[in-house]
Structure 1
Amino acid sequence: MLQENWTTIKEFILVGFPGLNPKYNGLVSTIFFTVYVTTVVGNAVLVLLFLKEHSLQKPMYGIMFSLSLADIGSGTVVLPKIIAKYWFNDETIPFHSCFMQMKFIHYFGTVTIFILVLMALDRYLAICNPLRYPVLMTGRITLALNITGWLGSFIFTTVVTVQVYQLPYCGPNRIIQCFCEQNSIVKQACADSGYQQLVAFTLAITVLLGSLTFIIYTYTHIIVCVMRVSSSHGRWKTFSTCSTQLCIIAVFYLPRCGVYICHVLRIYMLPDLHIFLIVFYTLFPPFINPFIYFFRNKQISHILVFLWLFVKILDPHFTLL
């Protein structure tokens, strides 16, 4: 039976945190607004630096540039609707818009996974195969790999979204979530969605654990290579070149793996806690990544400090506030 003949839902209602007292809506919306502005501004500054600063136009920074774009996209897809819900009590989202939001949430998440894998590969080649690194990780090769990740992720997530979209939906139309998350949407289907949920979960686990396995494998080899460096200063200097990537990878993977482990082991979580964890692992990495870049990457931090001092010399009264 065609989906158009069965679907009666015209819009979804985003419930958000079901246990949240309405008197805190203003505070919650302010927090999300701050997170959104910080995410967009912080990553936009990095994008401009990567484009304008010639010393940052290297393969490693090209990968970071791609990650900053994905972070901006991820925050922009999710946060404006959450802010509108808690600031203006705008809790409805049209049927088709909900699926578009779901698609792009998964899209930017998948792009980020590919970029983290590319980061690990870049550091592996730079540390374990330094003589071949300039040949294997040129600017053109990095660009081609980035484009492949963005296009491949789009195709992959489109296939998954279409599969879920074709289910018939006839209510209830209340999504116990802050945004259109796939599991919450599928629960609204008025047909057996077990196959779609199994396929989606299997693909998610495969992509998440497959990429994490590759990252662990590469960094294990990196650690082995670093330990072979004779001096302790040399070991620390070599390992510090991938410390930024390790921080970003940990922030991205640890909360996600925690949620998936609880799902597999059928560990019960309160709805508000479950929603918080999903919101956290969706929004926290794009928010914190610019700070990690700044504090863990000396070249970027030095450029930002230099630009700040330059602006202060031109205008002593300049302030970010």
Structure 2
Amino acid sequence: MSMAEGNWTKVNEFILMSFSSLPAKIQSLLFLTFLIIYLVTLMGNSLIILVTLADPVLHSPMYFFLRNLSFLEIGFNLVIVPKMLGTLLAWDTTISFLGCATQMYFFFFFGVAECFLLATMAYDRYVAICNPLHYPVIMNQRTRAKLAVASWFPGFPVATVQTTWLFSFPFCGTNKVNHFFCDSPPVLKLVCADTALFEIYAIVGTILVVMIPCLLILCSYTCIAAAILNIPSAKGKHRAFSTCSSHLLVVSLFYVSSSLTYFRPKSNNSPKSKKLLSLSYTVVTPMLNPIIYSLRNNEVKNALSRTFRKALGLRNCIP
């Protein structure tokens, strides 16, 4: 942390403004809504992890990556939502300097990891549909482990550089962060220094982190679409597409919401609209992912049914 000269003061904590401009009744309603969403998110993603581990039918690469995605969504939620719930009830709207940096670090880490993991899942679908006979050989345990590590790793350098650089700046004046978590743009507004170089790095870094996985996903699905069109039967086409539909929907939700948040013109990017858009990919999307994969995937639905029957059977056997 830096001590600035003159009238600059040492910042020990920040105040998260969250939704403080709304009436108390509305904040209480938001608290209840987000608490339910949070619990559903934790339960849904935990179920996906447990079922894909417990059921041998779901021990394929596709569900290995889905398990990684669910673990990532749980981490993403734990970093942001509990503190946001506290600010809505005005338990404690402050967050320490270190706490803010830690929250931002893991927000970047999980966000970058999700971008690359979604690209990895698209590649998995590409191999499954375009090279079905070689799929078990190509996507063996060693390969899927390497792909998972490659998906998680980029989050470390991106989060480390961006968070360390931003929090090395001096802060002065107000310590009020006009957001419900420590995101880079609202914290950057509190800096008392020239941040032009950092802003260039942040924009370029964000574009690369979003565009590289997005291009990989587009390439994968272009090949997948060509392969599906060459399938002679309508039933075969439907079956091939159904294995990708859940992933496509999850990708669309994540990329549309995050792109609208970070790539909108500044003139249209008011704090209120940014908060609402941020809610879509930090709170709503992590809840929808397990629901999408459960409702649109017969294997997952059957595995959930088998797991519950086994659990009930074990309970009945206990004297």
Aligned residue runs from structure 1 range 272-283, under 5 A = 272-283=272-283
C-alpha distance in structure 2 between counterparts of 1:117 and 1:4, whole Å: 39
What residue in structure 2 maps to residue 319 of structure 1? none
Question: Amino acid of the residue matched to residue 276 of structure 2?
Answer: F
**Which runs of no fewer than 5 residues in structure 2 stay unpaired?**
none
Q: CA deviation at 1:30?
A: 1.1
Question: Amino acid of the residue matched to residue 261 of structure 2?
Answer: V
Pair 1:18–1:83, CA change in 2 (3 A): closer
Pair 1:314–1:130, CA change in 2 (3 A): closer
Contact kept? 1:58, 1:139, Cα under 8 Å: no
What residue in structure 2 maps to residue 85 of structure 1? 87
C-alpha distance in structure 1 between counterparts of 2:156 and 2:54, whole Å: 28
Aligned residue runs from structure 1 range 104-143, under 5 A = 104-143=106-145
Aligned residue runs from structure 1 range 129-278, under 5 A = 129-263=131-265, 266-278=266-278
**Which runs of no fewer than 5 residues in structure 1 stay unpaired?**
317-321
Q: CA deviation at 1:304?
A: 1.2
What residue in structure 2 maps to residue 63 of structure 1? 65
Question: Amino acid of the residue matched to residue 101 of structure 1?
Answer: Q
Number of positions where the alignment pairs a residue of Structure 1 with one of Structure 2: 312
Pair 1:71–1:304, CA change in 2 (3 A): same
- Deviation larger for 149-158 or 28-37: 149-158
Over the aligned positions, Cα root-mean-square deviation in angstroms equals 1.8
C-alpha distance in structure 2 between counterparts of 1:313 and 1:141, whole Å: 37
Q: Does 1:305 align with 2:270?
A: no
C-alpha distance in structure 1 between counterparts of 2:173 and 2:211, whole Å: 33
Deviations 1:182-223 (A, max 9, x none): 111111111111211221121011111221122112101101
Deviations 1:154-201 (A, max 9, x none): 232112211112111123100000000011111111111121122112
Q: CA deviation at 1:237?
A: 0.8
What residue in structure 2 maps to residue 5 of structure 1? 3
Find the residue that maps to 1:229 and give its secondary structure: coil
Q: CA deviation at 1:45?
A: 1.0
Contact kept? 1:295, 1:301, Cα under 8 Å: yes
Question: Amino acid of the residue matched to residue 140 of structure 2?
Answer: T
Find the residue that maps to 1:216 and give its secondary structure: helix
Find the residue that maps to 1:13 and give its secondary structure: strand
What residue in structure 2 maps to residue 29 of structure 1? 31
Identity, % of aligned positions: 33
Contact kept? 2:20, 2:88, Cα under 8 Å: no
- Deviation larger for 46-55 or 287-296: 46-55
Question: Amino acid of the residue matched to residue 300 of structure 1?
Answer: V
Find the residue that maps to 2:169 and give its secondary structure: coil
Deviations 1:80-113 (A, max 9, x none): 0001111243100001110100010111111111
Q: CA deviation at 1:315?
A: 7.1
Contact kept? 1:26, 1:87, Cα under 8 Å: yes
Q: CA deviation at 1:310?
A: 5.0
Find the residue that maps to 2:95 and give its secondary structure: strand
C-alpha distance in structure 2 between counterparts of 1:39 and 1:273, whole Å: 23
**Structure 2 length as normaliser, TM-score?**
0.92
C-alpha distance in structure 2 between counterparts of 1:267 and 1:142, whole Å: 43
Q: CA deviation at 1:313?
A: 6.6
Deviations 1:111-160 (A, max 9, x none): 11111010010011111122332222112211122123223322321122
- Deviation larger for 157-166 or 64-73: 157-166
Question: Amino acid of the residue matched to residue 244 of structure 2?
Answer: C
